[in-house]
Chains A and B, each alone.
Chain A
């Protein structure tokens, strides 16, 4: 059982380049989300999805796009990378509601470390 898989693990981009961070889960979770972790800021929610075809913005959505065509995949697109997007990105999945689990089944990937120069 792989859980949540993020690729790539590391990436360096030049300012203005675009790229897609991949996220896949094999737990049939309805809910998926993307976070970025920055020093002193904790983890901040970028975008989330409550099911295939449904996405919404989190706390810091600017500069990022998402789509959810399948239950398993939730890619995060950087349209035109900026140095301010240098961060560690985490994808997470969970049940849409409590599901009887004490943590809502929240499972995180191991992260993608992105540097924009």
Chain B
């Protein structure tokens, strides 16, 4: 049972435009959400996160939005750059007793020059 879902396996955008990556979750106990970026032959690297008590977090070109009622979060990249081309994973943590990190299936972003 996939608790964190990314329904778009791939996304292609033009350089300079906005990239929007989406993520849905089913477990209402998740209280912290993270986005990871992964290049081929490398481990995932942390990009940005958001606590469940917030609805928006911004870091430079990257903004994450959280809609708790819809159990949905999204990552916006503005403006998109060719170096942003990678696989993006959404992940979630149930805080407190354990910080197991549960990942979504990933979205391959291709930014065309």
Contact = CB atoms under 8 A, between A and B. Distances in A.
Contact of A103 (B34, B95, B105): B34
Interface of B: 4, 6, 9, 32, 34, 41-46, 48-49, 89, 93, 95, 98-106
A95 B105 CA distance: 24
Interface in A99-114: 102-104, 106, 108-111
B15 to A, nearest CB: 27
A96 B93 CA distance: 12
- Interface size classification for chain A: 20 to 34
A111 B100 contact: no
Contacts of B102: 45, 59
A77 to B, nearest CB: 21
A17 B4 CA distance: 33
Given A97-B95, A98-B95, A111 B9 contact: no
